[in-house]
A = this chain, B = another copy of it.
Amino acid sequence: MDAQLDKLKFDANGLVPVIVQDVANGEVLVMAFTNREALEETIRTGKVHTYSRSRGRVALKGESSGHFQHVKEVRTDCDRDAVLIKVEQVGGACHEGYRSCFFRKYENGAGDWEIVESKVFDPDAVYKK
């Protein structure tokens, strides 16, 4: 039992949103959801685990790509209903090949969000290994 995790306010599905941030430059890498088990695994292993709602299970971030997120610090907010994890990111956090999932920027008057980052790896090569 971990008394600190007991103090988090998980939602009706046992989840809280989690923000993963690059400890080196502050870049927000990904926003996902986590649960009690994924947080315990994250703390135990030092690698970010999240709860994948699409797969219905706890998943090690980077399990197929090798792009692990090494945990440097875990924080929660005033309401204890969100988690922030600062990490050292291997490769890129985004399955589309970008360092951060937040590679699309709002541009006033544009028809679509503009891609403002460059890919750091080729997802076809990485996920077909």
Contacts and interface: CB of A to CB of B under 8 A. Distances in A.
Copies in the complex: 2
Interface of A is mostly: loop
Contact of A4 (B7, B102, B113): B113
Interface of A: 3-4, 7, 17, 19, 21, 25-28, 30-31, 43, 73-80, 82, 84, 94-96, 98, 101-108, 110-113
A3 B96 CA distance: 23
Given A31-B84, A77-B102, A77-B103, 10 more contacts: A4-B112, A21-B28, A26-B27, A43-B108, A75-B102, A75-B103, A75-B106, A78-B96, A82-B102, A84-B102
A15 to B, nearest CB: 11
